[in-house]
Chains A and B, each alone.
Chain A
C-alpha cells in the first residue's frame, strides 16, 4: 500500500496544482520585486513588471538565475526578508570561490521538512519507523533535511551524521533502524561492512533513501539485495531548499517534483528555449512558496527529462529522471560538489603549473579523486623530504578548498597529454550517467 504524507497535495488534480502554481508564482514575483534589489534591477532591465507574471504561462518572460549570480550576491544580496526573520543558514559544499549561502525562515524550514517527510512516507515511513540519518549534519542540507522530515512524520530519528561505521552498524542492530538515509555510496559501503561482520540477520532495515550523488541501477540492485531493502532516490539542492525537491515513489521510475513548492522547466542549455515533456535538457527551478530565499528560474545545470505521465503510485506531480549529466563541468565526488576551476586555483596558489588532470573513479562503491600535477623546476629539490612536504601542503590546501581528501600525484613534465584545442582536464571513470 502506498504511503503519503500529504495525500490531498501529493495526489491533487493537475488543475488544482496549476491553480496553486499560478497564484503562488505571481505572489513570489511580487515579493522579490518589492524586496530584492537584484531582482528588481534584472526585471527592469528585461522590461518585466510583477503584474506581467499572472500565471505559469508567463514564466518564460522572467530572466534566468545562475550559480554565478548567487555567488555574486553572497551573502545577503538575494535575501527577501529582514535578517531578523531568518532562523537558519545552510550552505553548499566548497569553502571558497563557489560558496552559496541559503537563508530560511521558520516557514521555509517547515516546507522543506514537509518535502522530506513526503519522501520518507513514499519509502513507507510512518511514526512507527526508526529513521537512521547518516547524511552529514551541519551546513550540508542532507542531514538536517531528512532529520526534519523524519520529525514531521513522527518517526524515531537517529541523527547519526556521517562516519564511524562501527557505531552506525551497532546502533542499526541495537535500535532496530528501519529506514536508512545516506549517500548511495555510503549505503553500499555499510552493506558490505554488515556482511563482513555477518550481521545481515540482525538488521531490520526495510527501505533506504539515497541521494546527493549519482548512482546507477546496478548499484541500486546491489544495495537492495545486500540490505534486503527497497532503495529510493531523492533529489535536491541547497539553493532551492535541500533534499526533497523531488523523490521516488514505489514505482521507482523517476522522482516526483513537489510542484506545489517548485515549478520545474527543462530548457536547451545553449539557447534557453523551454523544451516540451520528454526532451532532454537543463533543469530550471522556480521556488514559489519560500519567504527568505526564493529563486526565480534557477539553472541547476543538471540535465534531465520531465514526464507528466500518470504514475501508478497515485501521485500527480511531474516526474524527473535521475540527472543524466551536467551542462557545466561540475563533478560530484563523495557527495561534494567539485569544480575543476577550484582545483586549478589551489594549484596556482601553491606554485604549481595549471597543467593538471583530475581522475575520478569509484572503488568498492566509494569515490576517489586524484589530481595529477606535472613537476616543475621550481617545485623540485634534491631533498625528497622537501618535495614530499610541498606535496602535503598541496593536499592540505585542496582539502581546505573542497572539504574532501584529494590524492595528489606528481608526474614527469609533459606527462599529461596535450590534446589539440581544449585540454582534457577531467577523466571520470565512474560512468554514472545512464541514458
Chain B
C-alpha cells in the first residue's frame, strides 16, 4: 500500500545538491520522484527511487543523514480536476496532509501524487473507499 520515501539532510551550501545527485548517479540509482523542502540554511531532499534499500545504505555509508518514511503514492489521471478529487476525499475524511508532491512516468496518461500523512492506514482506507488506487514499492521498481 505504501512506497518508501528517502529523505536526506543537505546543508545550504553551493554544490551540495550536485554532490548528492552525482553520488546517486555513480551508484546507478534511478530516481522516480524528487521534492525539496528548504529553510534558510538547510534543505530536506525527498526522493522515491527504484531501490530504496540500496540507496539508504550507500547514502549512510557516505555519511549522509537519511530517514525512510512510508508514504502513499496515489494514481491519478493526467487531466484537470484529478488532484481536487483526491484532496476532497481526504478532506471529507478528516485526513491532514503534511506535504505532497507529484510525479509522472514514462507511461503516458498517468500521474502519481505522493502524500505524507500522519496515519497511512486511515488515509488509504478513505482513498480506497473513494475509488483511488495506490501503488506499492514493487510497482515503483518497474515504472
Interface residue ranges, A against B (CB under 8 Å): 375-377, 380-384, 387-388, 409-415
Q: Does B2 contact A (CB under 8 A)?
A: no
> Which 4 residue pairs of A and B lie closest in terms of their CB atoms, listed nearest first?
A382-B7, A384-B37, A375-B9, A380-B65
Assess the A412–B39 pair: CB atoms within 8 A: no
Give Cα A414 to B66, complex, Å: 14
Give Cα A388 to B41, complex, Å: 10
Contact of B65 among A376, A384, A388 (CB under 8 A): A376
Q: How many residues of B contact A (CB 8 A)?
A: 23
Contact of A413 among B39, B63, B116 (CB under 8 A): B63
Give Cα A252 to B65, complex, Å: 54
B9 → A minimal CB distance (Å):
5
Assess the B44–A382 pair: CB atoms within 8 A: yes
Q: Is the interface of B mostly helix, strand, loop or mixed?
A: strand
Instruction: Given A375-B65, A410-B41, A412-B16, check contact A380 B99 (CB 8 Å).
Output: no
B10, B37, B46, B66 — most chain A CB neighbours (10 Å): B37
A382, A409, A415 — most chain B CB neighbours (10 Å): A382
Give Cα A412 to B9, complex, Å: 7
Assess the A382–B63 pair: CB atoms within 8 A: no
Give Cα A387 to B43, complex, Å: 10
25 A-B pairs with C-beta separation under 8 A: A375-B11, A375-B42, A376-B65, A377-B66, A380-B67, A381-B67, A382-B69, A382-B116, A383-B37, A383-B116, A384-B37, A384-B38, A384-B44, A387-B9, A387-B44, A409-B11, A409-B41, A410-B11, A410-B42, A411-B11, A412-B9, A412-B11, A412-B16, A413-B63, A414-B63
Starting from the known contacts A382-B44, A383-B98, 15 additional A-B residue pairs (CB-CB under 8 Å) come to A375-B9, A380-B7, A381-B67, A382-B69, A382-B116, A383-B37, A383-B44, A384-B38, A384-B39, A387-B42, A388-B39, A410-B11, A410-B41, A412-B10, A412-B65
